[in-house]
Structures are given as structure tokens and as C-alpha cells.
Amino acid sequence: MPDLGASIVPPHRILYEDLVRRALAEDLGRAGDLTTDAIVSPADTVAALLIARSAGRIAGLEIAASAFRLLDPGVGIEFHSADGRDAGPGEILAKVHGPARPILSAERTVLNLLARLCGIATSTRDIARVIAAYPCKVVCTRKTTPGLRALEKYAVRAGGGANHRFGLDDGILIKDNHRAIAGSVTEAVRRARQYAGHMVKIEVEVDTLEQLEEALRLGIDAVLLDNMPLPALAEAVRLARGRVITEASGGVTPQNAAQIAATGVDLLSAGWITHSAPALDVALDIAL
């Protein structure tokens, strides 16, 4: 799977600058950086290296590094890598230079954001790699950290995945609880179609082949095949092929993703890549 460094487009800063600003305010608290302000002179300057201590896919590099300049526009940043590229252990991602105080005070905010987003991108990449031989994509869900959804979904794209809904307002996904309240798949879809505008797509979650057959008669756009055993999933894909987009959900990992993709499903949905991806080990080291 090639690096995406040449093609990944980062979010506009208006989408993340306030978030980074609030993260800095959370860390600086009421009295600022007591340690740095006590030890480091306002006149001190420093050069530091932002380093990947473990191998992984880069995401959020410029977003995280913006914390330095939010504290002091005079901080200089030279990027040695880019989002969508893979970094090896010990690889320099960026060099930061300028006033020492803002660099040290922003360090933890920068590393928290970068480690989180790189971890998501790396987990996504690991699934995308094992399904590369199949015509399907790994997609994320709304299982994101509150306040970080736009950035975490961006990290999924940097990892070679694609995005599902960003929120409740950009598509209709009829899940089991909606179906239970409406009384049937048919009634839930009828209500959704009556309510939705012509630009809104409708997806239905199904657990059984019987529910799938009912959904396929209703002219919907996609089906979410939830926690189906592989034989049932393969049959569901066969029934739905050419009629709707198929999405497999439930327990997707790098270890079983190829088996699921081999059924012919269009999308693999994985919530853990945003809610439980391990952070990448990154560090800021003073360049002596």
C-alpha cells in the first residue's frame, strides 16, 4: 500500500485551530507553565526535533505543530515528513526552533494530538493493507472522541481508509432500535423516506438474511450487515450485489479483514480504529 503523502488534504485550520487553542488552555490552566517560566528565561532560544520513536503512519503533523505557533508566532517549524506517509522508528518528523518557553509549554499538547492521530492512521493503514487485493474499503464510524471527530476522521483518511457519517445529519442509518420502535424494516424505511429530502441516502442495518431480503425490496441505498458469520455474510453479499452498497460491521481486525473482504463486501466498518487505536510513540527532543 503506497504512502498517501502526495494526495492527502489536511483540514482547513478553521476546523482545528479553536480545538488546539482549547487544548493549550486546558494545559496552561490558571497560572501558566510554572516549571518552564521558573527555569527558562524569556530570552532563551532552542532547537528541538519532533521524532517518531516507533514506526507508523503520520497524521495530524501540521495540526499538532500549530500549537507551537499559537503560543508564539515566532516559533519556526521545518517539516521533514507529511501526513499520509509512513515513518520509521527514530525518524525526524519536524524541526522546531525559536523561543524556548512556548516550545516547551506546547510540547505535551503537540504530542498528545500527534500520537492520537498517528495511532488512528496506523491502525487504519494496517487494515487497508490486508484488504488491498479486494475492491473494498475500510471505513470509520461515529465512535470518536468527543470534540475530535473531524480530526480523527481525517486521520482515517491519512491511513488509507474512508469516512462513514460525520454526524446524525448527513445520512439516515436505520439501526436495530429504530427498527424495533417502528415495528419492521418496511415501516422504518417508509417513515424515513417520507421525512428525508431527495439528497439524503438511506442505509438499513440488518442481522439476518430475512431482514436483508425485506430491505432489498424497498429501494434503499445501502445495507449494514451486522455481525454476520462469514457464510451468511457471503450469501448476503450475493443477494445484494448490484442492488445496494454492502457494509460489513462487527469485530473487523487486521487478522480477519481479508476473510471478510473476500466475501465481496464493499465496505468494512471498524469503530475501534477511532475509539481504541493505540497511540503512536512520538517525542520532542532538544537538539544539543
Q: Which residues are catalytic?
A: 108, 143, 175, 205, 226
Q: Helix 17-28 crosses helix 61-71 at what angle (to 10 degrees)? A: 60
With beta carbons less than 8 A apart as the criterion, state whether 181 and 157 touch: no
Amino acid found at 278: P
Q: Which of 121, 151, 150 is nearest to 138 (CA)?
A: 121
Question: Residues 137, 267: contact at Cβ < 8 Å?
Answer: yes
CB atoms within 10 A of CB 48: 21
Nearest 5°: the CA angle 169, 171, 177 is 90
